[in-house]
A = this chain, B = another copy of it.
Amino acid sequence: MQHKSNIVDIAEKSGFSITTVSRVLNGKGDKYRISKATQQKIESIAEELNYVPNEFAQNLRTGKSKTIALIVPSLKNPFFAEIASVVNTEVRKYNYITLIGDSDDNIENEKTEVMHLSSRNLDGMIIVPCGDEWEHLVKLQEKGLSLICIDRYFEGLDLSFVSSDNYEGAYSASKYLIEHGHTFIACIQGVRHSTPNIQRVKGFIDAMVGSGITSYTVTGDAFSEQNGYLETKLLLQQKVRPTAIFAFSNTIAMGCIKALKEEKVKVPEEMSLITFDDNPYLDYIEPPLTCISQPVEDICKIAVKILFSNILEHDVSPKYVLLKTQLKVKASVKNLDHVL
């Protein structure tokens, strides 16, 4: 392993001081009136010696790590995997790096991850919180860390977030079911006290009530496949079955499908299904699932932008952004009006 060159080597070889070398290599040559000749000489020597700055020394000196953290509930969930992917590439554009943490949708893990990652002198953090607690996040922010929530968030705090307009998304999905003649609809929700979930429930109920529909149910308590599975199983036990299920996440929808298959209930003939979240695999399911698609890419891009305006320009005023969702009609909802 050959000697890794540093600015001292370059200083010696060029005959200039460490200071001058550092300034040139940081692009501050002109600012400090270093002559063009000197700049070129130093740059060519740096090139020649294959100089790579030691980020630790830089970070130690400047206190900036050029690192942000992203914490998601589960990398295995394609929805969050996409978030990770987009955030990663967006952050790279600023020449920063992303540390990814996985909370497994568990608040204790989330806290541990937050602690562990923030020991790395983060410049910022993007988090999809479990949805249960926010004190540890507020504390982090009070310590001076730039922080923003995506997808899941909290209301009434000075904590920026970017998410989908969950109310509107749920409302339009519900409306769609109603317009297709469904009058007994069950929705299977996720983490109950999480803001997106609350909004979705509100959207759902408002659509029901607004259309004068009284027979609806809201069950479930986790954005998990298991929750979708269990609740669907239970729904199918009822004497009077709903004609449609509204799953509040793709994972929940997977659980629904599993249960429906087991019980040999055909979609959409015997049960309609609509879900929040889009993902490529949804097209390959039979039938392709009609869904509320979230603008994941935009959410991430905007979040990164806000984060960096906070980090770089110290714009700390909290931003609350909700983006429109999109109803993607595929083939899992039956039109009951045409039946008879």
CB-contact partner of A284 in B2, B98, B257, under 8 A: B257
Contact A82 B76 (CB under 8 A): yes
A117, A143, A286 — most chain B CB neighbours (10 Å):
A286
CB-contact partner of A85 in B52, B75, B92, under 8 A: B75
Query: Could you say which residues of chain B place their CB within 8 Å of the CB of A15?
Result: none
> Which of chain B's residues has its CB closest to A52's CB?
B119
Task: Given A78-B81, A81-B75, A284-B254, check contact A121 B54 (CB 8 Å).
Answer: yes
**A285 lies within 8 A of chain B by Cβ:** yes
**Complexed CA–CA distance, A84 and B53 (Å):** 27
**Complexed CA–CA distance, A117 and B66 (Å):** 13
Contact with B along A255-289 (1 / 0, CB 8 A): 00110000000000000000000001101111000
Contact B60 A89 (CB under 8 A): no
Contact B102 A100 (CB under 8 A): no
Contact with B along A157-178 (1 / 0, CB 8 A): 0000000000000000000000
**A8 lies within 8 A of chain B by Cβ:** no
**Complexed CA–CA distance, A120 and B53 (Å):** 9
CB of A139 to closest CB in B, whole Å: 11
Contact with B along A89-101 (1 / 0, CB 8 A): 1001000011111
Task: Given A2-B143, A56-B121, A85-B74, check contact A98 B100 (CB 8 Å).
Answer: yes
**Complexed CA–CA distance, A100 and B258 (Å):** 33
> Which of chain B's residues has its CB closest to A85's CB?
B75
Contact A88 B75 (CB under 8 A): yes
CB of A111 to closest CB in B, whole Å: 14
**A20 lies within 8 A of chain B by Cβ:** no
Contact A143 B1 (CB under 8 A): yes
**A59 lies within 8 A of chain B by Cβ:** yes
**Complexed CA–CA distance, A150 and B100 (Å):** 20
20 A-B pairs in the complex with CB atoms less than 8 angstroms apart: A1-B144, A2-B143, A53-B119, A55-B120, A56-B121, A60-B60, A75-B81, A76-B78, A76-B81, A76-B85, A81-B84, A84-B100, A88-B100, A98-B99, A98-B100, A254-B284, A258-B284, A281-B285, A285-B285, A286-B286
Give the 6 A-B CB pairs with smallest separation, nearest first: A286-B286, A1-B144, A81-B81, A75-B85, A281-B281, A56-B60
